[in-house]
Amino acid sequence: MDKNIQEKIDKWLTGNYDEVTKEGIRSLQASNPDDLADAFYKNLEFGTGGLRGIMGIGTNRMNKYTVGMATQGYANYLKKCFGDNVKVAIAHDCRNNSAAFADITANVFAANGITVYLFEALRPTPELSFAIRHFKCQGGVVCTASHNPKEYNGYKAYWDDGAQMVPPHDKNVITEVEKIASVDDVKWSGGEKNIIIIGKEVDEAYLDMVKGLSVYPDVCAAQHDMSIVYTPIHGTGIMLVPAALSRYGFTNVHIVKEQSTPDGNFPTVIYPNPEERETMSIGLKQAEALDADILLGTDPDADRVGVGVKNNKGEWILMNGNQTALLAFNYMIEARKAKGIAKPNDMVIKTIVTTDMIDVIAKANGVNCYNVLTGFKWISSLIKEKEATENYIIGGEESFGLMIGDKIRDKDSVSAVTILCEMAAYEKNKGRSLFDKLVDLYVQYGFYKENLVSITKKGMNGAAEIKAMMETYRSNPPKTIDGMEVKELLDYELQVGKNLSDGSSWKIELPKSNVLQFVLADGSKISARPSGTEPKIKFYFSVNTTLASAADFEKTEKLLDDRIDRIIAEMELK
């Protein structure tokens, strides 16, 4: 055993840790020393979004001690910034231990003299963002690991605008958390009187906000019996999505029974991620059996949404996150204009790895479209920067996230589900489907096709492998990809864009982020981005061409898919 690792283990065996934890360590020492080393070889990092990791014993795991120490550091920073009059809101999802972690978080905050608004039971992550703004809090926490497998849990930290933290607060909180060297530095109890239990009143205010986003309530009324299938995938969406759809007037909503009960073991799926066809398979079968109009699924903390529709052959398909985003962006731009409520200073915001087709749509409609780094905290930060001069409508990213309206500052699948159903009702009112609308947009603006390859590198060596991969691309970028010249290299870590043909360069006016983008001569784009929350590196591919007519859709789609497949093969990513 490495000396440093052994010292950490000994500290837990002799320190103020409960006997169950100590017995667990001794059991691993005897049965699985490699797992024990992995549990202690580093501290679970409090990153710019908070904590996320496998649950278990050790400094590199999610447990009551790592959660408590993180909360103490966060509490110290909040009090540094705001003095003694600090309020926070706390929520949790359906995951195993999430409720316990939320209680620990609440107790530590409260013991530090902080007023805590604690949800009575599980709630969607976006409602936590809403609650921070509703109660005028200085911060907040939701205990969730989003769409990760069941072994994971996490801790998302928020600032006073209801968004996850951006500089300088993110790094400053990390500094304070790292100062907590021992569980003895944590105030674990003693402030219970500072905890206020919340629930229905916030639900009602939040649902009123969601209802206020509707552009065509009359269309929803006309198509109230449109057939909708919804699955919460054992998560928190069941708490609010059905109620939100009811407020929109939809009366023919079918909940996927097998996945309707909150359960942190996610018994019907491998990954509780609506991006995965396997995860949505039960919903797809039900939608097909009912001949439904639309299928929707939300992840465990109800911030991401997956969408199923029938294609022009009547087959059920899952739209990817880019397709969902461009439909939603276009609807909010187009419908507001048709309704006469568009403003000259309307703006939309997307991330740098989300389809450029949104930029094209926005420009054609005279709406400013801004590109930010991946993560809704950057969308929220730009809203804050521009809210005095521009009117935010919608933001989103390719990873199945949308944020409609500015009353919350994180991705929100509850409002996304309702607006997507309104969009489907709008098209059905004209005798069409959402898929028909998607193809029409391709004909009008160009056919943009995207794909994603995610490579997992686990364990102690994983981070080093990902780092080496990025450095190779950074120092030795390819000259051609699939026979097409690489014209530009955009390095967001160095904040420099380079024209590889003539050597010229320019500054990228965004915060530093370890992302590389290769822009090819035909406008295709390949992006490489290590995940900030998982041991993964993600590669994003975007290619485009013109689509002469809806009749050419399948043929043109195959050409684009083949192009992406060749690029993936050439880059040896499969």
Give the closest residue to 230 by CA, choosing from 250, 254, 247, 207: 254
Give the chain's length. Answer: 574
Confidence of residue 458 (pLDDT cuts 50, 70, 90): confident
Same domain, 146 and 67: yes
Q: What is the model's pLDDT at position 463?
A: 82
The CATH number of the domain holding residue 114 is 3.40.120.10
Return the SS3 of 126.
helix
The residue among 412, 445, 478 that closes a domain is 445
Classify residue 25: in a domain, yes or no: no
For residues 299 and 411, the answer to whether their CB atoms sit within 8 Å is no
Which position among 27, 31, 129, 146 bears the catalytic label? 146
Same domain, 343 and 437: yes
The residue-averaged pLDDT of 556-572 equals 96
Q: What is the model's pLDDT at position 460?
A: 66
The kind and range of the H/E element at 308 are: strand 305-310
Same domain, 561 and 438: no
Q: What percent of the chain has pLDDT over 90?
A: 94
The residue among 424, 445, 466 that closes a domain is 445
Same domain, 484 and 527: yes
493-525, pLDDT tens digit by residue?
999 999 999 999 999 999 999 999 999 999 999
Q: What is the pTM of this model?
A: 0.95
Does residue 475 carry a catalytic annotation?
A: no
In what order do the strands lie in the sheet containing 368-372? Answer: 368-372, 346-351, 391-397, 401-404
Confidence of residue 49 (pLDDT cuts 50, 70, 90): confident
Same domain, 437 and 497: no
Same domain, 99 and 185: yes
Q: What is the model's pLDDT at position 533?
A: 61
Return phi, psi of residue 78, to 5°.
-60, -40
Task: Give me the domain span that covers residue 128.
Answer: 42-198
Same domain, 429 and 457: no
Classify residue 19: in a domain, yes or no: no
Same domain, 61 and 166: yes
Helix, strand, coil % over all residues of the chain, rounded to 5: 40, 20, 35
Return phi, psi of residue 353, to 5°.
-105, 10
The kind and range of the H/E element at 210 are: helix 200-211
State yes or no: pLDDT of 535 exceeds 80: no
- Taking the C-alpha atoms of residue 234 and residue 265, their distance in angstroms, rounded to an integer, is 9
The residue-averaged pLDDT of 308-316 equals 95
Q: What is the model's pLDDT at position 532?
A: 67
The residue among 390, 424, 445 that closes a domain is 445
Tokens of 284: 């797809």
The residue-averaged pLDDT of 541-551 equals 97
For the chain, the domain total comes to 3
- Taking the C-alpha atoms of residue 129 and residue 108, their distance in angstroms, rounded to an integer, is 20
Confidence of residue 489 (pLDDT cuts 50, 70, 90): very high
Classify residue 441: in a domain, yes or no: yes
- Taking the C-alpha atoms of residue 162 and residue 379, their distance in angstroms, rounded to an integer, is 12
Same domain, 433 and 465: no
Classify residue 541: in a domain, yes or no: yes
The residue-averaged pLDDT of 202-228 equals 98
Same domain, 415 and 491: no
Return phi, psi of residue 320, to 5°.
-80, 170
- Taking the C-alpha atoms of residue 216 and residue 228, their distance in angstroms, rounded to an integer, is 18
Classify residue 27: in a domain, yes or no: no
Same domain, 247 and 337: yes
For residues 440 and 359, the answer to whether their CB atoms sit within 8 Å is no
Query: Tokens 């992995």 label which residue?
Result: 38
The residue-averaged pLDDT of 253-259 equals 98
126-181, pLDDT tens digit by residue?
999 999 999 999 999 999 999 889 999 999 999 999 999 999 999 999 999 999 99
Classify residue 332: in a domain, yes or no: yes
Classify residue 17: in a domain, yes or no: no
Tokens of 129: 């963002």
Classify residue 35: in a domain, yes or no: no
Q: What is the model's pLDDT at position 464?
A: 86
Give the closest residue to 422 by CA, choosing from 291, 273, 307: 307
State yes or no: pLDDT of 59 exceeds 90: yes
Q: What is the model's pLDDT at position 74?
A: 97
The residue-averaged pLDDT of 112-134 equals 98
Same domain, 182 and 304: no
371-421, pLDDT tens digit by residue?
999 999 999 999 999 999 999 999 999 999 999 999 999 999 999 999 999
For residues 266 and 233, the answer to whether their CB atoms sit within 8 Å is yes
